[in-house]
Amino acid sequence: MGISGTAANRTSKTESKKPHIIRRLYDWVLHWAHTPYGTPALAVLATAESSFFPVPPDPLLMALAMSRPERSIWYAFVCSACSVIGGAIGYLIGWQLWSVMSDFFFNHVPGFTHEVFNLVANKYNENAFLAIFTAAFTPIPYKVFTIAGGVFQISFLAFMVASAIGRSMRFFLVAGLIWKFGASIKATIDKYFDLVAVGFTVLLILGFVVIKYAL
């Protein structure tokens, strides 16, 4: 077989290679924005992502908000409420089912590793409320914190309050920007959201430091 034939075979193999599983899940999530079931799909996704599903609800939230900006705030409410409910389910899994489900999470849920789980345990010892808020608002894997919250039996009230604040701030920020600025803000959100979230969390931590040592 000549060089041209070999090159053609390589091209064919490359084109036929399937995308990574996470990318396929991401595309599958986004396709719901173009169906009549976008809002129910957002609710299910936000609930599932808080305990085991690897794709966050932000892309679907943005796609729905972009398609109907006048309903952006409603989509943010659905996403926030269902994500907090999913967090409570994750807490329940950690509290009651961890002994029989731990292997599943460590072996099959992306981002759920022994190292991360041990790190979460240390963060809970330092400040459980702040740890939950940070995970709820930033790109840190929130699902690890929800399940670990049940495993270590942190205050459920503090867990729910921190989750509600963090998740709502995250999703209402995204939807609110789209409602206010429309399509022109989407590229900026995609590019800088993680940096904005981390920066806000740093400012919040500094605020706790000031309260603790200066007041």
- Write out the residue range of the structural domain in which residue 77 sits: 3-213
Task: At 1, list the tokens.
Answer: 């077989």
Q: How high is the pLDDT of residue 160?
A: 97
Count other C-beta atoms under 10 Å from residue 150's C-beta: 22
Instruction: Encode the chain (215 residues) as per-residue pLDDT tens digits.
Output: 554 454 445 444 444 455 555 567 667 766 777 778 889 999 999 999 998 887 788 888 888 888 788 889 999 999 999 999 999 999 999 999 998 988 888 887 766 888 888 888 888 988 899 999 988 998 778 888 999 999 999 999 999 999 999 999 999 998 888 888 776 666 666 666 666 556 655 655 555 454 455 44
C-beta separation of 84 from 163 below 8 A: yes
Count other C-beta atoms under 10 Å from residue 213's C-beta: 7
CB crowding 164-174: b at 16 or more within 10 Å, else e: bbbbbbbbbbb
Q: How high is the pLDDT of residue 15?
A: 41
The total number of structural domains that make up the chain:
1
The pTM (predicted TM-score) of the whole model is: 0.74
Task: At 108, list the tokens.
Answer: 């099959």
Rounded CA separation 46/29 (Å) = 11
Tell which residue, 189, 187, 143, has the closest CA to residue 170.
189
